[in-house]
Amino acid sequence: MRLKQIWLLSLLAILVAAGAVRSASAQQNAPAAAPAQGGQGGGQGGQRAGGPPPPPMRLVSTDIADGKPIAGKFTCAVGADAVSPALQWMQAPRGTESFALIVHDMEPRPRKGVDDILHWMVWNMPPTANQLPENVSPASADLPDGSHQTNGFAGQNGNFGYRPPCPPQDVPVAHHYAFEIFALDQKLDLPAAASRADLLKAMDGHIAGHAALVAPFNR
């Protein structure tokens, strides 16, 4: 009886060992599990799919600050000596093919319409552009980088560019001047005498990014 028990125990041990070997072999030969969706390698360039969005486009200036009054040298307070402020933008989205700038006085509503007062617009700035220097010449509608400018009164008094803020005098509430930059996914086919309505219509459906500064001024 004792010999039979020993033989049964030995047979059981052999069967257990054989099962363990088969299990290990099956694990080694099993195909590698596919990476979980959204893991590394799932996005372009090895980035995680569904990762954080790119940072928003920004517009800054060494001459004006968002929410702070505009210095006199950029307004009609200095008359014909007024110059345009320096503007810099960054973090434009991928696929940007051109930039457009619109500067306008947000308060007036001529004839109770949707338009306010345009002070400057520039379009078809190249995709490599990231700034406009201080004192852009207003003498021509065409700028050296191939872009174009106008101000709603283009050509009057030889001025095609920046018209400085000039709200009514002795009005206690300041006017607010918006400087808006748009990143577009194409260049625009517009005539040199294009209006703001023409520019807005051409930009519609092509705005990839936008940033703005708003600065008050009163006299």
Running along the chain, 219 residues long, what does each successive block of 10 average in pLDDT?
A: 47 48 48 42 46 92 97 96 98 97 93 90 98 97 96 85 94 94 98 94 98 96
Q: How far is CA 36 from the centre of its chain?
A: 32
- The pLDDT score that the predictor gives to residue 154 is 76
Find the helix or strand (DSSP H, E) in which 185 lies: none
3-state SS, residue 21? helix
Neighbours of 100 (CB within 10 A): 25
C-alpha 119/C-alpha 138 separation (Å) is 12
**Among all chains, which residue has been given the structure tokens 């039979």?**
4
d(CA 131, CA 123) in angstroms, rounded, equals 13
Q: Give the model's pLDDT for residue 113.
A: 85
What is the structure's pLDDT at 112?
87
Number of Cβ within a 10 Å radius of residue 200: 14
Dist. CA 153–CA 144, nearest whole Å: 21
Please tell me the predicted confidence (pLDDT) of residue 43.
39
Q: Which conformational region is residue 11 in: left (phi greater than 0), alpha (psi within -120 to 50 degrees), or beta?
A: alpha
Q: Which helix (H) or strand (E) holds 170?
A: none
pLDDT the model gives residue 19? 53
Distance CA(205)–CA(182), nearest Å, equals 12
- On whether the CB atoms of residues 84 and 61 are closer than 8 A, the answer is no
Provide the 10 A C-beta neighbour count for residue 203: 20
Coil, strand or helix: which one is 71?
coil
Measure the CA–CA gap between 35 and 40, rounded to whole angstroms: 8
> For 116, how many CA atoms within 13 A lie in the half-sphere containing its CB?
15
**pLDDT of the residue at 111:** 80
